[in-house]
Amino acid sequence: MLFLIKLLISLQIVFVSLDTTRTSVERADKMFMTTAPSDTLILRQIPNHAFRLGEQLDYSVKFGSVSAGYARLSIPKQDTVNSRVCYQVVSQMWTNAFFSNFFKVDDLVETFIDIHGIFPWKYHKRIREGKYKSNRSAVFDHVRGLAFERKEVIPITPFTQDMLSIFYYLRTLDLKAGQTLYIDSYADRKFYPLEVKIIKKEKIHVPAGKFECFLVEPAMRAGSIFEQKGQMWVWFSTDKSHLPVMIKSKINIVGSLSMELTQITSISNE
């Protein structure tokens, strides 16, 4: 999803992408030799009362004060990866007719999140932004602590999040104002240590309604070798769903981007 990609560029993070021909996916899957999880790592279980199969969240996207397009986060189905049942989580972003005259975007990002442990096993991205096209993918071996992308093998910590799954992982936590969380993440063949600050509670109004929210700010962890070139804020609702109600960023070169929740849909696929 272009919007989330642009936001995370502000942290010097770029999403891993989707190969529509599946060539890079197949190559990565062949490198990922772990079958069923072994005794070397006890895969965690995290209670999840925040989201379920069939959830769909729709957003309006703005570049500065100009309406640029639409975005959607959805959980359309369950799948099995590495003998584990997963949620397929999909993010989409597309520009409206007006903005497409200047710069057309049609992006899709998906991750496969372990239902019980809330961590990703596989991540794909397909980016179409103007004349730019990108198709990439990665798979994760949390037992051995490795990520596989193309021909590279990158060391990670167990339960490392990708740049989409991290939103869903945060939703399952018992968030509290003043809290600081340390979450390891992966993107673009790099391992990123993040620091996530739960700054305060505040009430906001978006097209979907009024919400009491936690204001959350992710940033590179102190001592990181990566440079942070912008800021990002996410407003998660304070109820048990912890919905990502609004996201804003300020990027030094690009400017400001914002995404506001317009509709919540729960579709039963059971």
Residue 221's pLDDT is what?
53
Sequence length of the chain is 270
- Give the pLDDT of residue 229: 53
Q: Which residues pair with 53 in a beta bridge?
A: none
- The residue ranking higher by pLDDT, 109 or 249, is 109
pLDDT recorded at residue 187: 85
Q: What is the pLDDT of residue 41?
A: 72
Q: What is this structure's pTM?
A: 0.83
Q: What is the DSSP letter of 162?
A: -
Task: Please tell me which residue, 1 or 108, carries the higher pLDDT value.
Answer: 108
Largest CA-CA distance found in the chain, in angstroms, rounded:
55
> What local confidence, expressed as pLDDT, does residue 145 receive?
92
* Domain count across the chain: 1
For the segment 254-266, what is each residue's pLDDT rounded down to a tens digit? Answer: 578 899 999 999 8
CA distances from 182 to 96, 102, 214 (A): 36, 39, 17
Over the stretch 184-200, which tens digit does the pLDDT of each residue have? 998 888 888 889 999 99
Eight-class DSSP state of 16? -
The mean predicted confidence, pLDDT, of the chain is 82
CB atoms within 10 A of CB 205: 11
What per-residue confidence (pLDDT) applies to 230? 60
**Which residues make Cβ contacts (< 8 Å) with residue 256, sequence separation at least 6?**
63, 64, 248, 249, 250
Specify the pLDDT at position 88: 98
More confident residue, 202 or 12: 202
Return the structure tokens found at 87. Answer: 């949620």
Mean pLDDT in residue range 238-253: 88
Task: Find the mean pLDDT for residues 122-149.
Answer: 91
Main-chain phi, psi angles of 243, to 5 degrees: -65, 135
Q: Distance between alpha carbon 171 and the CA centroid of its chain, in Å?
A: 12
Structural domain for 197, as ranges: 2-266
Mean pLDDT of 17-45: 48
